[in-house]
Amino acid sequence: MRIACHTLGCKVNQYDTQAMLELFEEKGCQRVDFSQEADIYFINTCTVTGTGDQKSLKLIRRVHREHPQAAIVVAGCLAQRDAQRVMLPGVRLVIGVKRRAQVVELLERALAEDTVLCAVDTGGEWEFEPLRVCRHEGKTRAAMKIQEGCDRYCAYCVIPYVRGPVRSMPLEAVEAEARRLSQSGYREVVLTGIHLASYGRGMGYGLLDAIERVQNIPDIARIRLGSLEPGIVDRAWVERLRAMDKVCPQFHLSMQSGSRGVLQRMGRRYTPEQYLAAARLLQGAYPHCAITTDVLTGFPGETQEEALETEAFLRQVGFARIHVFPYSRRAGTRADAMAGQVPEEEKQRRCGRLIAIGNQLESAFVQGLVGSEQQVLFETQAEDGLWEGYTPQYARVRAQAGPGELCRVRLERAQGTVLYASKL
């Protein structure tokens, strides 16, 4: 049988898709591109925003329209949150964020019984599900999900309700999976989680211990970290991290707003001043350090003055890249019931301003790398025939190189946000 997969949302979802795909492959399924004819279409959904919901539902409908005989498997956060909503024509199995290790057996049962099976588990214990990944198709870097769940309950977010409480992959399993990936030829791993900073809570160790386990694997050359909370970053934490020379100096520090008032209403557990202090610690420890972030604009009650505070704060920090999202109402969250909902037109206007600032900051950061020597892991061939890869700061570089090559280059010029380099 042929299986085609499509993932919406975050790196954690990408990891889950790959893990479940490998279970199908172990049973003899052959992966094909999502645009090709397949017997099974696997869709891993996202529900962080209303847009994520609509994209997921639209994709399910399109797949059934184009491939009416195929079996559709719907997994992920929207499936967990609203299973009935995704039980559209063509869907044979709905599975949320539990029982993923049983996905093959559950689909086989649905097909054998000629039924639609909803295997979404909303009760019982939440444990770290022992999924594993051995490879990532067509990639030179591999994501490793080492943490699940969140207990922050920010006012705008449904994820703690969907993904459950904090739980972590045991240290020994972290090391074992990193070794498997290194044996498959991966030189770079990305440690990810829903709330990565909580890794190891209640287990007697923390995120730095997991990083050290991966650091000690000889064939792993680079370690990249997923999204971090600024509260984890203090001087002692940075000093210990700095001793691990494989860690890439690109840190995605979750921000959401640069306004103290908005952060308080969101239920975020830091102030702009605390965020800036964390960013400066990292920038001071790593030359050409890249700080990236997410910004949520148009949160209920956000005034024009507060929006301008965020704009000024972005420039003050000096981000290498920002991802901008308009606030999306989510039923069941505190923010959904808040007064002062910002009109959609105004949210889009503010998004446009923030995106423009982000583009300026990214261009300035990339230009600041010109003249430096960096290590680049080349991944894909660009349309101009050069090979393209990324520096430790996740800046895009093109040069005469080869696939999977990891080498030092001199960055000679920037064209937009792409750097051109010569090998040393």
Instruction: Count H helices and E strands in the chain, helices first.
Output: 13, 18
Please write the tens of the pLDDT for every residue from 252-284. Answer: 999 999 999 999 999 999 999 999 999 999 999
Q: What is the pLDDT confidence band of residue 140, given thresholds at 50, 70 and 90?
A: confident
Contact 214, 191 (CB under 8 A): yes
Q: 214 by DSSP, 3-state: which?
A: helix
Please give the C-alpha separations between residue 94 and each of 79, 264, 295, 313, 398, in angstroms, as whole numbers.
6, 37, 32, 43, 42
pTM of this prediction? 0.93
Please write the tens of the pLDDT for every residue from 327-363. Answer: 999 999 999 999 999 999 999 999 999 999 999 999 9
Please write the tens of the pLDDT for every residue from 204-218. Answer: 999 999 999 999 999
Q: What is the pLDDT confidence band of residue 138, given thresholds at 50, 70 and 90?
A: low
Handedness of CA 128, 392, 395, 298 (dihedral sign): positive
pLDDT of residue 350: 98
Please write the tens of the pLDDT for every residue from 32-52. Answer: 999 999 999 999 999 999 999
Question: Parallel, antiparallel, or unpaired: how do β-strands 387-390 and 91-94 relate?
Answer: unpaired
pLDDT at 183 over 70: yes
pLDDT of residue 372: 97
Residues 6+ apart with CB under 8 A from 141: 186, 187, 188, 189, 190, 222, 224, 377, 379
Q: What angle do CA 186, 191, 195 make, to 5 degrees?
A: 160
Rounded CA gap, 377 and 11, in Å?
Answer: 19
Q: What percent of the chain has pLDDT over 90?
A: 94
Bridge partners, residue 91, by sequence: 72
pLDDT at 122 over 90: no
Rounded CA gap, 173 and 223, in Å?
Answer: 17
pLDDT of residue 130: 85
Contact 240, 205 (CB under 8 A): no
pLDDT of residue 137: 63
